Amino acid sequence: MDLNEFKKDLERLEHEISEVQLILQDKLIEHLNYHTNNEAKWGIVKIMRDHPFKTLLTGIGIGVSMFGLMNANNIITFFARIMR
């Protein structure tokens, strides 16, 4: 294979790669648009709109649970001292 054939093959591969990149970009944009357009139908926005108090209570519950997990050692130690 001479240098000219190699350059032609390289240019062909670069062209094919750029076509694949364009296809992937188009598919990604299409996918993002789908989610953007349908978020209000079935996403977290709809759940929050339809059930505001449940969403609030869930958020508070998650926060309290995370606080409890982060401080579990201190809480156990506290109750252990009380029990003595």
Asked whether residue 31 falls in the same domain as residue 46, the answer is: yes
Asked whether residue 38 falls in the same domain as residue 70, the answer is: no
pLDDT of 14 strictly over 90: yes
**Could you report the per-residue pLDDT of 22-36, keeping only the tens digit for each?**
999 999 999 999 988
pLDDT at 76: 82
pLDDT of 18 strictly over 90: yes
Question: Rounded to 5, what percent of the chain is helix, strand, coil?
Answer: 95, 0, 5
pLDDT at 53: 93
pLDDT at 44: 80
**Could you report the per-residue pLDDT of 50-77, keeping only the tens digit for each?**
999 999 999 999 998 888 878 878 878 8
Count of the separate structural domains present in the chain? 2
Q: Which residue range is the domain that position 28 belongs to? A: 1-50
Let me know: does 47 contact 55? Beta carbons within 8 Å: yes
Asked whether residue 7 falls in the same domain as residue 41, the answer is: yes
